[in-house]
Structure 1
Amino acid sequence: KYESCMFLGYILHIPYICFQGNWASRGTVIQSSTSADMFAEKAIDGNRGLQQLDTGCSSTLNQTNPWWRVDLAHIYKVSRVVVTNRNDCCTEQINGAEIRIGNSLENKATTIPYIKHRCVSGESFGYSCGGMEGRYVNLIIPGDMKTLCVRWRFLEKVFYGLNAALWRTASQSSQFDDWISRYAVDGLRNSCSHTNPQTDPWWRVDLLNEYNVYRVAITNRDDYALNGAVIRVGNFPNNVYSNTICAVISTIPSGATANFSCKGIEGRYVIVHIPGELKTLTLCEVEVYGYLLGRSLL
């Protein structure tokens, strides 16, 4: 549904995944108050401000319950947030800060407090958010006479993000008429790949790099059944059965799109095949969501 990957740069840097691009810069940021010229936007401007605090950090005034918030514009599942503290005289100011994720703007902080942590001067700390859903990511420090000063965060999204299969190299075990394999990764759900009737037909996409694959979405034809098709992820392009099974398709209604959880299976290739004799495999779109294997988040 949300086909974008959020890399929230210096205050919020997400891969999602994952995939590259500073999407935080496209988000809307705000904070409860502003100290001098340390605006909320400075937390996502790409400047870490390690040498000069006011050039790269956002900061509130000394107040009750100071907060900072980014509006991601869509609802995401957030798996990881990384916070980097300031490195000058006042590193203790962030102690007790809470990371909150949710969809409500009530009290400028959303949902229940998720994480509290004591941060060390200039250091980064990563926190697992377990796929919490929300449009807003907040930092808030509860209490009187508090100041919130932050430099950057990473936000990792797992189930929704860029489609890693889009326009990648696809192939299939045979080709019926002009229904080429690439039609299953062209972003159009009304164009389909199609094999000839054969034993164990298969279709494969090369993601070019190894990914932790979390979700595969398959769009069925409006006059076809994919019952019994198997989705596999792995690094063996020429040996279907050496790759790990993500899911076995029981049924996908005609013309519908179904999602299958792969739980982070590692691999460069995603393969769909149907075991058996005189089988035909046709796919109208295959979407793959995950993040680059071994990607550094810091």
Structure 2
Amino acid sequence: MVYAEDPLMIRGGGSGDVINKFDSLKIQHRNLSTRHTVNLAFNGVAAQSSLYNYSWASIAIDGDKDSGSCTHTQKETNPWWRVDLRGLYRVRTVSITNRGDCCAERLDGAEIRIGNSLENNGVMNPRCAVISHIPAGETHYFQCNEMEGRYVVVVIPGRAKWLTLCEVDVYGSRPVNLALKGVAVQSSLQGSYIASRAIDGNRQTFLPHFTHTQEETNPWWRVDLRDVYRVRSVSITNRGDCCSERLDGAEIRIGNSLENNGVMNPRCTVISHIPAGETHYFQCNEMEGRYIVVVIPGSEKILTLCEVDVYGSRPGGA
């Protein structure tokens, strides 16, 4: 657990960035400087399992640490709160401010979970920490050791629980998107929708910001990372104007072989469905390879990709 020796100062507001300055932080009796750290949650989108008395989920990411301005769920089983950071981050630290008027013990046993899955509302993502106790009105900091994820979830396991949060701050950094410096090719070309549009860093989902193959058997798209990496995750953004179902059943394959254009490399995952205009993340558990391939098995298929991001590291951590 981390706590600030000096008061947390928040500057800005509205559409501006929230900048948190700490004169020093103490982590298990060690000092850590974190000046000019951006609160990633401030520009996120919050949701929660239920609503009590207009205490909206977004109150916990409004930059206001007033311990009387808080979210509130109904009394229920496993109440949860979640912020979508709207991108993949390596999360170093999460801070939570507890309510100051009463009932501080209600937060005891809450879990902070971080990951890319929305299965069961994200409460099954890997766990960063369990909150033993935060005294009324206080802010405590929890180290998450650069856990990677888009969603930060706070959940209280158990029956007849209330979840109240006055503020949740998230600190971390974006991992490097390996695909940006890669070389992309695809099985065929429709119009001017070239393969490189999926690695240009542009997540726009309408014409002309995507790739497009001809209608064909087993259409594929591939990025050459130009070196071997251990791939942690791949994100794919689907087109937003129409035809999102065309990507259903596509496979992500990772490896070092170009046999049959790389479509026989080991499989990371099968894409069940990505709704129009959305970005989904797929865990590949450090599969090793130079080539990332997206292929749709079957006849009379069309492959369209708005963006493909690849996150990982060199073998050996280099």
> Smaller-chain TM-score range?
0.5 to 0.7
Q: In structure 2, do the counterparts of structure 1 residues 252 and 103 end up closer, same or farther at CA, with 3 Å as the change threshold?
A: same
Q: What CA deviation, in whole Å up to 9, does each residue of 1:65-111 have, x standing for no partner?
A: 563232542555358xxxxxxxxxxxxxxxxxxxxx43259989722
Q: Give the total of aligned pairs.
A: 185
Partner of residue 86, structure 1:
none
Partner of residue 295, structure 1:
317
2:255 is aligned with what amino acid? G
Q: Residues of 2 paired with 1:28 and 1:263: CA distance?
A: 35
Residue 259 of structure 1: SS of its match in structure 2? strand
Partner of residue 171, structure 1:
185
1:73 is aligned with what amino acid? V
CA contact 2:253–2:264 (8 Å) conserved in 1: no
2:279 is aligned with what amino acid? T
CA contact 1:167–1:182 (8 Å) conserved in 2: no
CA contact 2:91–2:170 (8 Å) conserved in 1: no
Partner of residue 223, structure 1:
242
Partner of residue 110, structure 1:
141
RMSD value over aligned CA atoms? 3.4
Partner of residue 195, structure 1:
213
Q: Select the residue among 74, 77, 90 that pairs with 1:77.
A: 90
2:94 is aligned with what amino acid? G
- In the alignment, structure 2 segments of 5+ residues that lack a partner are 1-19, 41-88, 98-136, 153-168
Partner of residue 24, structure 2:
31
- 1:242 and 2:264 aligned: yes
Partner of residue 204, structure 1:
222
Q: Residues of 2 paired with 1:135 and 1:181: CA distance?
A: 35
- Relative contact order, CA 8 A, sep 6+: which one is greater? 1
Partner of residue 286, structure 2:
264
Q: In structure 2, do the counterparts of structure 1 residues 203 and 69 end up closer, same or farther at CA, with 3 Å as the change threshold?
A: same
- In the alignment, structure 1 segments of 5+ residues that lack a partner are 1-26, 34-63, 80-100, 115-127, 138-156
The CA deviation at 1:202 is 0.3
CA contact 2:95–2:139 (8 Å) conserved in 1: no
1:223 is aligned with what amino acid? C
Q: Residues of 1 paired with 2:31 and 2:138: CA distance?
A: 10
The CA deviation at 1:213 is 1.1
Q: Residues of 2 paired with 1:244 and 1:65: CA distance?
A: 46
Written as runs of structure 1 = structure 2, the 5 A alignment for 1:14-93 is: 30-31=23-24, 65=29, 67-70=31-34, 72-74=37-39, 76-77=89-90
Runs of 4+ in 1 over 3 A off after TM superposition: 27-30, 74-79, 104-109, 128-137
1:165 is aligned with what amino acid? A
CA contact 1:215–1:262 (8 Å) conserved in 2: yes
TM-score, structure 2 normalization? 0.50
Partner of residue 254, structure 2:
233
The CA deviation at 1:279 is 1.1
1:103 is aligned with what amino acid? S
User: What percent identity do the matched residue pairs reach?
Assistant: 38
Residue 282 of structure 1: SS of its match in structure 2? coil
- 1:273 and 2:295 aligned: yes
Residue 259 of structure 2: SS of its match in structure 1? coil
Q: Residues of 1 paired with 2:95 and 2:233: CA distance?
A: 23
TM-score, structure 1 normalization? 0.53
Q: Residues of 1 paired with 2:265 and 2:305: CA distance?
A: 20
Residue 184 of structure 1: SS of its match in structure 2? helix
Partner of residue 149, structure 1:
none
